[in-house]
């Protein structure tokens, strides 16, 4: 039964304030401090000219070939210049460690690769992994087919940042149908101008493409899925001729805090298949769409559509609902007929206001980090722990100057803990986070820690791998003070494979109530313990700042997430891949707040163990717009709530269960066995199956599908699960509150005495309890 709760406001009423949800203007103070002496230079070392006239193809290809096996260096630098290309540049990976490299330009405004090759050609085929490609412009000159093609071999843990792709049919293409997958790639602060498609995923395993702070201008499509999946966060779309974001095939997606101006359609999920793509669509501003709809929801979803603002003209309407499941909360429209209602839905606290009361201010995107000159302590490749510590100590004496301790490509033997002292603003920078670039290799006692950062401080650690062996990799100690910030981008942390040190975790955060902690594009695996564990101070609060994990990917864990002692954790847009036999995706036994959306849980399943369990849990747990998928097993994923349920509220909202076993129903996936029963329930969820014998009865409202494929096909796609728990609107609002409150932020300068610690592309492996630990300490 559809339920409709909407606040309709007469447009002339002036009590509704103007809606201005543009990103708060910030002044990010990230910086680029290269090139370093250890980097190779395409002009100095390979003879490139860069005058826009000479054909630099051969010189650049020699440079790429020369860095492939990183015999001399792991970073290739492009100084200012226009480099003429007449054929495709390629990085052919021949061995496992090939092309774990970085290609970095001086600045995208000054470094241009210009295509002068055949019509429809590819400018760069980037067959690299554990790699970085940054600070370059690809000029297709209205001739190139693709600026940047990832593949053909499997790739993971890549950064694609501060690129400009212009005047080409495609900006970045992740994989091809007959290549291997291109996964775990953060596309950061890039620009796509006059492209047919800015970014597209074209392989089933081209997943976890995290698009952050990018600008798409005058493209046909901004971000498109042919196969695989992406997550779009905090981007700006201007005048897309077809759609800003679109898809053909299924997976879990998140579309968060983007701004669209003058595009034909913001979100087009009208692929027409009966399978589902659970998607969280939250906090977006859609201004003046030129087509019929701002958002077209189709396939089985389910969808969570929250806090979006749509300024609509005479033609465009807001949301065309799917024939399946959706929940709409807190959205704002500038016309009364902004939604076409279909399928199963709830609408809560929606508003209509006048177009003139919706601000047209554009989002402020963070700029390309400027190049800075800093005092550099350049370490020899043979430096030991004592020499590195001496350089850190000398750099720490230059507080206020952001000095750099640079570690070139090498394996550094560390037999005692490296300590970055409080009050310092040292930058510890390597030549790449991979098994061949800059590695800190532990040779000390089993109970040691490789790197310790003391706060309050303003420390940066970038492009380093920490191999802790039996010990811990990284310990950050900082005061829990309002205004303090700890930020990590592309931290990749692997937990211990066993629990010989007691309770283990890949990442443990403990003791924070006031400081803000954010992990963007987090990667790794919990292995024998949790992947992310948040331990509070014992204060049970649903409103204090939560630790944020925004986009990411992980392998197996003995319970991916855990909250204890009132810990608060929000997880959005993360892929969970089974790589071991752990059966519990989540097992909550203590107190806290855990909110998760737009994720995929891929797990071995068993009749003996649920995928999601809560035993005597006290707190708030939300799982929304997630795929729950059994891998190599037949049992359907399920929730089990057990023990004392008096202090628990658990909500499964708009999730999709992939089913192979006949007999699945709401009562087999939702088991509230707690005494007394936990509050909450199962709402707006469905199943997806390719097994006709396991299918449900099909959606009862397929008559509303219109030009959708033959309704009989629903028996091979999605079917509805009945709701359980009698969940009211107030309960939904309570559970969504942590997701709505947890907004991403970019690092900015903090006042003297405040903690401002940043990690960029750090890989951490260890076996000593918590591989990476961030704890409150004065």
The pLDDT value given to residue 16: 30
In angstroms, the Cα distances linking 506 to 127, 579, 602, 766 are: 29, 15, 19, 8
- Mean pLDDT, consecutive 10-residue stretches, the chain (778 aa), reads 28 31 52 97 98 98 95 96 98 92 98 98 97 98 98 96 98 94 96 98 93 98 94 98 92 96 95 77 98 92 96 96 92 97 94 95 92 97 98 97 98 98 97 97 97 97 97 97 96 82 87 97 91 93 90 89 97 85 83 97 87 96 95 90 98 94 92 98 90 62 40 56 96 98 93 95 94 95
The pLDDT value given to residue 363: 81
Spacing of C-alpha 711 from chain mean position:
35
Dist. CA 530–CA 555, nearest whole Å: 11
Strand-strand pairing, 718-720 and 686-688? antiparallel
In angstroms, the Cα distances linking 453 to 366, 384, 638 are: 27, 19, 41
Dist. CA 503–CA 222, nearest whole Å: 44
Q: Are 267 and 291 in contact (CB under 8 A)?
A: no
The pLDDT value given to residue 276: 80
Torsion sign, CA atoms 182, 170, 364, 252:
negative
Dist. CA 619–CA 590, nearest whole Å: 8
Q: Are 599 and 575 in contact (CB under 8 A)?
A: yes
Dist. CA 510–CA 495, nearest whole Å: 17
Dist. CA 408–CA 165, nearest whole Å: 30
3-state secondary structure (DSSP) of residue 735: helix
Q: What are phi and psi of 318, to 5 degrees?
A: -85, -75
Integer Rg of the chain from CA = 26
DSSP calls for 298-355: -SS--EEEES-EEE--SS-EEEE--SSEEEEES-EESSTT-EE--SEEEEEEEEE--G
Going by the DSSP 8-state scheme, the letter that residue 183 receives in this structure is -
Torsion angle of C-alpha atoms 58, 186, 157, 504, degrees rounded to 10:
160
Exposed, middle or buried by CB within 10 Å (0-12, 13-18, 19+), for 722? Answer: exposed
Dist. CA 756–CA 372, nearest whole Å: 19
The pLDDT value given to residue 701: 36
Dist. CA 100–CA 299, nearest whole Å: 39
Architecture of domain 38-218: 3 Solenoid (2.160)
Dist. CA 744–CA 754, nearest whole Å: 19
């Amino acid at each position: 039964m559809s339920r409709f709760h909407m606040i309709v406001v007469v447009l002339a009423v002036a009590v509704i304030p103007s809606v201005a949800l543009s990103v708060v203007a910030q002044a990010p103070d990230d910086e680029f401090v290269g090139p370093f002496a250890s980097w190779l230079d395409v002009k100095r070392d390979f003879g490139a000219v860069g005058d826009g006239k000479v054909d630099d193809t051969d010189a650049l290809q020699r440079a790429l070939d020369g860095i492939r096996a990183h015999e001399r260096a792991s970073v290739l630098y492009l100084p200012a210049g226009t480099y003429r290309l007449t054929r495709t540049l390629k990085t052919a990976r021949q061995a496992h460690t090939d092309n774990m490299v970085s290609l970095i330009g001086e600045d995208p405004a000054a470094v241009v690769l210009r295509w002068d090759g055949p019509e429809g050609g590819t400018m760069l085929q980037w067959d690299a992994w554990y790699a970085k490609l940054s600070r370059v412009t690809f000029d297709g000159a209205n001739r190139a087919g693709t600026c940047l093609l990832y593949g053909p071999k499997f790739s993971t843990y890549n950064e694609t940042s501060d690129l400009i792709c212009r005047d080409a049919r495609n900006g970045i293409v992740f994989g091809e149908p007959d290549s291997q997958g291109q996964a775990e790639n953060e596309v950061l602060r890039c620009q796509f101008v006059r492209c047919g498609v800015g970014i597209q995923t074209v392989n089933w395993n081209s997943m976890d493409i995290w698009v952050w702070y990018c600008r798409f201008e005058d493209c046909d499509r901004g971000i498109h899925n042919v196969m695989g999946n992406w997550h779009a966060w905090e981007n700006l779309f201007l005048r897309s001729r077809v759609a800003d974001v679109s898809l053909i095939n299924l997976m879990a997606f998140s579309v968060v805090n983007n701004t669209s101006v003058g595009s034909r359609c913001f979100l087009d999920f009208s692929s027409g298949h009966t399978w589902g793509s659970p998607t969280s669509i939250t906090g977006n501003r859609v201004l003046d769409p030129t087509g019929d709809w701002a958002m077209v929801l189709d396939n089985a979803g389910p969808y969570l559509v929250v806090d979006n603002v749509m300024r609509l003209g005479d033609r465009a309407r807001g949301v065309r609902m799917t024939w399946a499941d959706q929940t709409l909360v807190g959205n704002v429209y500038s016309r009364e007929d902004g939604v076409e209602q279909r399928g199963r839905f709830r609408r809560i606290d929606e508003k209509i206001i006048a177009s003139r009361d919706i601000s047209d201010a554009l989002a402020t995107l963070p700029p390309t980090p400027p190049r800075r000159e800093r005092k550099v302590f350049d370490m020899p490749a043979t430096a030991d722990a004592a020499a590195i510590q001496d350089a850190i100590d000398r750099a720490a004496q230059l507080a206020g100057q952001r000095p750099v301790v640079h570690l070139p490509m090498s394996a550094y033997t560390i037999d005692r803990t490296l300590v970055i002292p409080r009050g310092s603003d040292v930058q510890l920078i390597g030549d790449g986070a991979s098994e061949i670039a800059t590695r800190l290799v532990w040779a000390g006692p089993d109970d040691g820690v490789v790197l310790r950062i003391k706060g309050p401080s303003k420390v940066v650690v970038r492009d380093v791998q920490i191999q802790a062996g039996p010990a811990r990799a990284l310990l950050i100690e900082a005061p829990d003070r309002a205004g303090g910030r700890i930020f990590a981008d592309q931290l990749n942390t692997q937990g211990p494979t066993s629990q010989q040190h007691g309770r283990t975790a890949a990442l443990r955060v403990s003791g924070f109530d006031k400081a803000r902690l954010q992990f963007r594009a987090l990667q790794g695996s919990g292995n024998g313990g949790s992947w992310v564990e948040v331990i509070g101070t014992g204060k049970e609060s649903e409103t204090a700042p939560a630790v944020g994990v925004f986009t990411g990917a992980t392998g197996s864990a003995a319970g991916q997430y855990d909250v204890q002692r009132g810990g608060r954790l929000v997880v959005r847009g993360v892929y969970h891949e089974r790589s071991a036999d752990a059966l519990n995706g989540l097992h909550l036994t203590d107190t806290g707040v855990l909110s998760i959306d737009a994720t995929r849980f891929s797990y071995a399943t068993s009749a003996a163990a649920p995928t999601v369990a809560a035993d005597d849990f006290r707190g708030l747990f939300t799982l929304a717009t997630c795929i729950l998928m059994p891998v190599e097993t037949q049992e359907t994923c399920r929730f089990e709530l057990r023990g004392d349920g008096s202090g628990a509220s658990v909500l499964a909202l708009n999730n999709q269960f992939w089913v192979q076993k006949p007999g699945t129903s709401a009562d087999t996936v939702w088991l509230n066995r707690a005494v007394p029963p936990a509050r909450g329930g199962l709402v707006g969820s469905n199943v997806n199956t390719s097994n006709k014998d396991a299918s449900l009865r099909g959606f009862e409202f397929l008559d509303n599908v219109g030009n959708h494929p033959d309704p009989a096909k629903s028996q091979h796609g999605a079917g509805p699960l009945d709701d359980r728990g009698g969940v009211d609107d107030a309960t939904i609002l309570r559970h969504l509150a942590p997701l709505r409150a947890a907004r991403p932020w970019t690092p900015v300068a903090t006042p003297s005495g405040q903690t401002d610690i940043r990690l960029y592309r750090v890989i951490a492996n260890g076996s000593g309890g918590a591989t990476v630990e961030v704890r409150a300490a004065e």
